[in-house]
Structure 1
Amino acid sequence: MSAQSTPEPVIPEPDGAGPRGGGGRRRKAPGKSRRALRVMAWTAAGVVVLGGTGAGYVYFKLNGNIRSLDINQALGADRPTKIDNGSQNILVLGSDSRSGSNKKLGGGTDDGSARSDTAMIVHVYEGHKRASVVSVPRDTLVNRPACTDTSGTAHPAAAGVMFNEAYSTGGAACAVKTVESITGIRMDHYLEVDFEGFQKLIDDLGGVPVTTTKNIDDPQSHLSLRAGTHTLNGQEALGLVRTRHGVGDGSDLGRIQLQQAFVKALIGQVKHVGVFTSPKKLYDLADTATKTVTADSDLGSVNSLMDFADGLKGIGAKNMTMVTMPVQYDPANPNRVVMQTAKAKLVWDALKNDRPIPRAATQGTATGEAKGVVTS
């Protein structure tokens, strides 16, 4: 999903900026401070006209970055009923693709295949002031339903397979189909972020500060952090959200705890650096994000993504509840987990009815023993 770099447009001097003609007095050459102010003014003006006729270059560049998939067509009509109560449900996947430049990132296989390394169901409550996030462990054994991918290829159902096998089999459409089958909840939107884009987003932000309460050393994710406060660059942040052998019990559940802590730190950093008051930083992030994200076709344009993001900007880390889908270790294989059906139903019922997730839903479930290792 890389895009060729495009030279920045040359902005001409405004009319009248040069010498007067016809014998008029010559203006005094502007000093450095005035020139700087003028450049800033023209930069700001360029940002302001993004919604008007002068927006063509930037708008179409960003719009051309976005990759979208027609999930709705692939899924057809056999889906949970859409709940019209003002809430939204979004499936967010972190792509474990090893094709292209992603081969260099994060270790693992390099066969060009892809898996859903990270999966989060984001429920935005009515009013868009609060959200709940439910992480789905990739090692969860599930019954994957029959599904059709966005190329039209049909895939038969499979029993007792790992959750992330749905994505590697049929891509985004099969991942959404599997989540809807597990939860009984219709996903209103789908977003996917890949390794390379995630790393560059963090670098564009200037890093994200986190505090580790224990040493983390995981050669497989290329991460080594001493206990203490760190500002993670993109490569370090990628290592953190992928590490599983350096924390807790070494399971995917421990990694999820780190991912959830990092997401909260990331949200806090976005608000802290003031990206919405810095035109250059905002553009850099928008350029990277639109190259990074694959979205469902309803979000597959700059305007749609802007409207979507604008509806979420009031949700801060303190207004976000993050849990892991209730699971227990598989008695037959401790490297796999299975859903605790009764407790998971408490989670899905809460989201369907736009209510907070009850604490009882996650009490006594497997956690991975890494909670509190990373704090924002």
Structure 2
Amino acid sequence: MFNKKPLADTTARRPSTGAQAKIYSRDNVARYSERARQRRRSHTIRHVALIVVLGVLLSATTAAGLWFATIMGKLGDSNVITDNLRRVLVDTDEAKDPFYVLLLGTDGRPGEDTYRADSIILARIDPTQKQATLISVPRDTKVEYKGETMKINACHTVGGAEAMVEAVNELCGVQISHYAEVSFDGMQALIDSVGGIDINATDDVDDPEHLDIKITAGQQHMDGATALTYARCRYTYADGDYTRMRHQRQVLGALANQILNNFDATKIFGLVNSLSDMLVTDMSVQDIVATVNAMRGMDVDGIYSANLPSYADDSTMIDGVSYVFVYEDELKEMMERVDAGKDPKGPNTMGLSDGSSSTIGDLNNNTSDDYANGTATSSVSSDDSDDSSDSSDSDYYEEPTGDGNGYEANY
């Protein structure tokens, strides 16, 4: 038989009557009450702290939401970014797929409802290859819009951003995904907001009749006012508006270099905040940040650069108005290269291309006289040098006609 253990004597653990008297004495009741009050106070403090933290988070979320809504409201100014414009633009994944964006520089001033497109640049952005292409469209280019002959910058006056996108789509055979415009004052403020730009000014600027600032050629750091002056001057150059378009692409290249390679990435939302006061675009904050992050570290000198193959002379006058005519076949060939992500090998002055490479780096190494006189040098194309479709033989090149200065003044 198993021996059973005796039951524990529970009475041995009970305190004596005297001990019970001590444990439940009036003094101990007071001590327990104080401990209970401390526990309740601790719980209350934790609850209050939690409520405060939740309140702060809620306030921060609300503030962030209000900031985001304010920024989006400024960037997507409904007077410019209309439903009709959005219907014309095509969707794209800005972080993964190449896309086209139409960039307009306008002569608008605060409070003005009517203004003109002074600078027109079609940009192709390829985030996976960290490559960009800038194609300038002369503002006097002849187009047919809704059955009427007009200069392409007049489309902006007739039908706003939507008309500009439609006109450039038709002219260049592309589908534009995004639209952005900035005024002269906005560009000046934007450049100042990133600390200025470093640029090699290839030409002097000395035109006191139209511009207040003089610039001496050479590598230099420009503030917004100086950069804007460099991008606007045209009357003093042999090929006029074509030099101005080259300078504008140089300024855009230098601005891209400052933002992508020299700008503190932690300040990107501050930059977006500044942009919202200067830029009008259909791009969202997420689109802008995603594109900037995807393109960070790109070789800006390698940005492809060209203007439309085009000319202006006595034969391009219609009803007493001077237009710029495009070489349609050559433009089609150039845009096929652009669409394929290749060097456009397009011209950087009036006339046709000689088939040479065309980059921002090339613009930085040649003067307006080099381009006007046909003595500009270029870098070697790395991806398209054996392209038999380039037509780089002599019958592809045509000497420019006209002096490039016969355009209406838009100052």
TM > 0.5 fold call: yes
In the alignment, is residue 366 of structure 1 matched against residue 351 of structure 2?
yes
In the alignment, is residue 178 of structure 1 matched against residue 161 of structure 2?
no
SS in 2 for 1:225: coil
What is the match of residue 198 of structure 2?
209
Deviates further, 260-269 or 207-216: 207-216
Q: Distance in 1 between matches of 2:92 and 2:313?
A: 33
Q: Distance in 2 between matches of 1:320 and 1:258?
A: 14
- Alpha-carbon distance, 1:258 to partner: 0.8
What is the match of residue 128 of structure 2?
127
Contact 1:121 1:135 in 2 (8 A): yes
- Alpha-carbon distance, 1:263 to partner: 1.6
What is the match of residue 254 of structure 1?
243
Q: Distance in 1 between matches of 2:251 and 2:262?
A: 16
- Alpha-carbon distance, 1:187 to partner: 0.6
In the alignment, is residue 195 of structure 1 matched against residue 184 of structure 2?
yes
Q: Deviations over 1:49-105 (max 9, x none)?
A: 9x967734643443343224586842697x7998999321111111221453xxxxx
Q: Distance in 2 between matches of 1:268 and 1:351?
A: 21
Contact 1:80 1:184 in 2 (8 A): no
What is the match of residue 65 of structure 1?
74
What is the match of residue 296 of structure 2?
313
Sort the Cα spacing of 1:126 and 1:285 in 2 relative to 1 into closer, same or farther, 3 A.
closer
Q: Distance in 1 between matches of 2:85 and 2:74?
A: 25
What code does the residue aligned with 1:291 have? D
Q: Distance in 2 between matches of 1:188 and 1:140?
A: 22
What is the match of residue 116 of structure 2?
115
- Alpha-carbon distance, 1:262 to partner: 1.7
Contact 1:138 1:252 in 2 (8 A): no
Contact 2:90 2:177 in 1 (8 A): no
Aligned-pair identity in percent equals: 25
Q: Deviations over 1:167-193 (max 9, x none)?
A: 111110000011111122111111111
Q: Deviations over 1:132-172 (max 9, x none)?
A: 1111010212222x2xxxxxxxxxx312x211011111110
What is the match of residue 278 of structure 2?
292
Q: Distance in 2 between matches of 1:181 and 1:86?
A: 22
SS in 2 for 1:224: coil
Q: Distance in 1 between matches of 2:134 and 2:332?
A: 15
Contact 1:82 1:186 in 2 (8 A): no
SS in 1 for 2:100: strand
What is the match of residue 333 of structure 2?
346
- Alpha-carbon distance, 1:332 to partner: 2.7
Calculate the TM-score normalised by the size of structure 1: 0.67
Structure number with greater CO (CA < 8 Å, separation at least 6) is: 1
Sort the Cα spacing of 1:75 and 1:66 in 2 relative to 1 into closer, same or farther, 3 A.
closer
Calculate the TM-score normalised by the size of structure 2: 0.62
Deviates further, 82-91 or 339-348: 82-91
SS in 2 for 1:346: helix
Contact 1:253 1:366 in 2 (8 A): no
Q: Which has the larger radius of gyration?
A: 2
- Alpha-carbon distance, 1:288 to partner: 1.6
In structure 1, runs of 5+ residues without a counterpart are 1-45, 101-110, 147-156
Q: Distance in 1 between matches of 2:262 and 2:85?
A: 39
In structure 2, runs of 5+ residues without a counterpart are 1-55, 353-362, 369-411
Contact 2:194 2:263 in 1 (8 A): no
Q: Distance in 2 between matches of 1:83 and 1:304?
A: 10
- Alpha-carbon distance, 1:284 to partner: 4.1
SS in 2 for 1:355: coil
Q: Distance in 2 between matches of 1:288 and 1:80?
A: 25
Sort the Cα spacing of 1:231 and 1:345 in 2 relative to 1 into closer, same or farther, 3 A.
same
Q: Distance in 2 between matches of 1:83 and 1:54?
A: 30
| Cα RMSD after superposing both structures | 3.5
Contact 2:231 2:251 in 1 (8 A): yes
What code does the residue aligned with 2:189 have? K
Q: Distance in 2 between matches of 1:271 and 1:312?
A: 7
Q: Distance in 2 between matches of 1:292 and 1:257?
A: 23
In the alignment, is residue 269 of structure 1 matched against residue 258 of structure 2?
yes
Sort the Cα spacing of 1:348 and 1:72 in 2 relative to 1 into closer, same or farther, 3 A.
farther
Q: Which has the higher strand share?
A: 1
In the alignment, is residue 55 of structure 1 matched against residue 42 of structure 2?
no
In the alignment, is residue 241 of structure 1 matched against residue 227 of structure 2?
no
Contact 1:131 1:315 in 2 (8 A): no
The aligned length equals 293
Q: Distance in 2 between matches of 1:208 and 1:171?
A: 30
Q: Deviations over 1:17-48 (max 9, x none)?
A: xxxxxxxxxxxxxxxxxxxxxxxxxxxxx9xx
Sort the Cα spacing of 1:314 and 1:72 in 2 relative to 1 into closer, same or farther, 3 A.
farther
Q: Deviations over 1:112-134 (max 9, x none)?
A: 52111111111123724212111
Q: Distance in 2 between matches of 1:348 and 1:135?
A: 12
Sort the Cα spacing of 1:304 and 1:76 in 2 relative to 1 into closer, same or farther, 3 A.
closer
Contact 1:139 1:252 in 2 (8 A): no
- Alpha-carbon distance, 1:340 to partner: 0.8
- Alpha-carbon distance, 1:224 to partner: 0.9
In the alignment, is residue 303 of structure 1 matched against residue 320 of structure 2?
no
Contact 1:63 1:302 in 2 (8 A): yes
What is the match of residue 74 of structure 1?
84
In the alignment, is residue 232 of structure 1 matched against residue 222 of structure 2?
yes
